[in-house]
Amino acid sequence: MIATTTSGAVALVTIDRHERRNALDTEHCLALQAAVTGAAAAARVVVITGAGSAFSAGADLSDAYRSEFRDALRALLELLGDVPVPVIAAVNGPALGAGTQLAIAADLRIVAPAARFGVPAGRLGLALDHWTVRRLALLAGGATARLVLLAGEEVDAEAALRRGLAERAGDLQEALLWAGGIAELAPLTLAAHKLALERAGGEEADHAEVVAAVRAAWESDDFAEGLAAFGEHRPPRFEGR
C-alpha cells in the first residue's frame, strides 16, 4: 500500500509494505507514481519514506526480472525529477537496489542512523540503467559509485553524509520540519531551479524550457512580494503565481 497524508504545504508519501520491507514491484511503482503526482499537485514539498524499519529493501524479486517492472520503475524515477516541487527522501533504514535508485532520484535526502545504501546487482546478475549510474556518480562522486556498483559495498548514514549521498541527518520528524521550511520558499523559484538542475547539459529545447521557467519567476507576483517583504522586514507570503 502507498499512503499519502498532507499537513499544510507538505505531503508525506509512505511505502507501507512492511511485510516485504517495502520492496517495490510493478504495482507499487505505479501506485507511487500516482501518489507523487497527486501530492505534487496539492503540496509544495513531497517527502517519501518507508513504513517500519526499512526505506525500501529493493525490487521484489518475484517481479524484478519482468520488463513491465523495469519500465514502471524507470517512469517513477523520471517522475521525481519532472514534478515541479522539491522531493525529499527520508531514508529511515536500508535503501537497497531499487530503494537506492528511488532515494537518489529525489532532490534531497535525509538519513536516520539506520539508513544504508547499496546495490546488490552483481549478486543477482542484473545491471542498472545508465541514468541510475550517472545519477549516483553525480551525487556521490565516481569513487563512491564504483565502490557501490563494482565492489558491491554498502554506504551507511555517516558515510552517505560525508560522501554527498545525503544532505542531512535526521528522522522523519526532522525531515518534515525541513520540508516545512522549504515549503515557505517561492514555489516558482524552486521550480525553475529544479528544472535547471534536471536539464543541465541537456538539449537546446531543454535550455529554452529553463529560460521560460526563470522568466516566469522574475515576472511573478511572488517576486514583487519578495521585494516588498524584504523592504518591510517581514517574512514573505508566496502564493506560487
- pLDDT, tens digit, for every residue of 29-70? 999 999 999 999 999 999 999 999 999 998 887 776 788 889
- pLDDT, tens digit, for every residue of 126-145? 889 999 999 999 999 999 99
Is residue 179 within 8 A of residue 45, CB to CB? The reply is: yes
Superfamily of domain 2-182, CATH level 4:
2-enoyl-CoA Hydratase; Chain A, domain 1 (3.90.226.10)
Q: What percent of the chain has pLDDT over 90?
A: 84
Q: If pLDDT is split at 50, 70 and 90, which confidence band does 203 have?
A: low
Please tell me the distance from the alpha carbon of residue 53 to that of residue 26, in angstroms, as a whole number.
22
| Domains of the chain, residue spans | 2-182, 187-232
- pLDDT, tens digit, for every residue of 13-40? 999 998 889 999 999 999 999 999 999 9
The x, y and z cell numbers of residue 57, run together, are 529493501
Burial class (CB in 10 A: 0-12, 13-18, 19+), 124: middle
pLDDT of residue 201: 66
Name the strand (E) or helix (H) holding 57: none
pLDDT at 204 over 80: no
